[in-house]
Amino acid sequence: MADGAAMVCVCVLFYGSDATCFKLAQRVLNAPMRVLARQPVEFRFGCNAIGDDTRAFIRQQIAEHFPQAMLFESAENAQKYPMMRRLFYAQPTTAPLTMWFDDDSCIAAETDVTAWLPRIQQQLSFHDFVGSIYRTRLEGNQAAWIKAQPWYAGKEPQAYVKFPAGSWWAGRTDVLRRFDWPPETLTHRGVDVMLGELCRQQDLLLGHFRDGVWINANADGVEAAGSKRGKNELPIGFDYQL
């Protein structure tokens, strides 16, 4: 990290022990990410059930390029959002902005990070969160689950929710902290959707921004084409008991 206070806290989640996971770790900690490490940015790496090769690579990268990065490890798969909470709150950041990467996302190789980062900071001067914005239909008892949340502000849930894709996004740290996001009880699927609904309920602004970044991408950089990994479960609130 460059000298001075961090302006952004970058959190990266690594998951899995096979060769594909190792390749994803190499991709996300690529040359543009190493350039980002020379900006006023702090790094936090979370590792869920990673393999020995991936662990050795991450530690080498920390030693050579991310010397002040915090490393959090779980031998078992602690699930995405419990690990996210560790990265956010084990030692709360002082950076005003937070950026999240799943390991299937990365800064595109051709991105000029020194121009890209100020653009994100500018976007977050008038948005609360930015990312690749999607729209999905509520399922099962999700509408009832929304109404039971402490952030529910009385707006009737609509059939569809707009939300920033969970594989990469950036947002204001103070908003995350205000709502203690993500909640302790949430584990994996559909939490990004509920962040979108929280924003609607609380009149928070979402911005569509995906320039210079591969999001849940395959080897060709096609968005939302990465392989499905992790626990397969019903989306949050689907089976909420009325």
CATH number for the region 8-129+166-186+209-214 comes to: 3.90.550.10
- pLDDT of res. 230: 67
Residues whose CB is less than 8 angstroms from the CB of residue 84 and which lie 6 or more positions away in sequence, other chains included: 11, 13, 46, 100, 182
For 9-34, give one letter per residue: b (16+ CB within 10 A) or e. Answer: bbbbbbbbbeeebbebbbbbbbebbe
- pLDDT of res. 242: 78
Each domain of the chain, given as residue ranges in start order, spans 8-129+166-186+209-214
- pLDDT of res. 2: 67
- List the pLDDT tens digit at each of the 242 positions of the chain: 667 799 999 999 999 999 999 999 999 999 999 999 999 999 999 999 999 999 999 999 999 999 999 999 999 999 999 999 999 999 999 999 999 999 999 999 999 999 999 999 999 999 999 999 999 999 999 999 999 999 999 999 999 999 999 999 999 999 999 999 999 987 768 999 999 999 999 999 999 999 999 999 999 999 988 877 666 788 888 988 87
Contact predicate 49/82, CB 8 Å: no
Q: Which candidate, 3, 24, 5, 2, places its Cα nearest to that of 15? A: 24
- pLDDT of res. 185: 85
pTM: 0.96
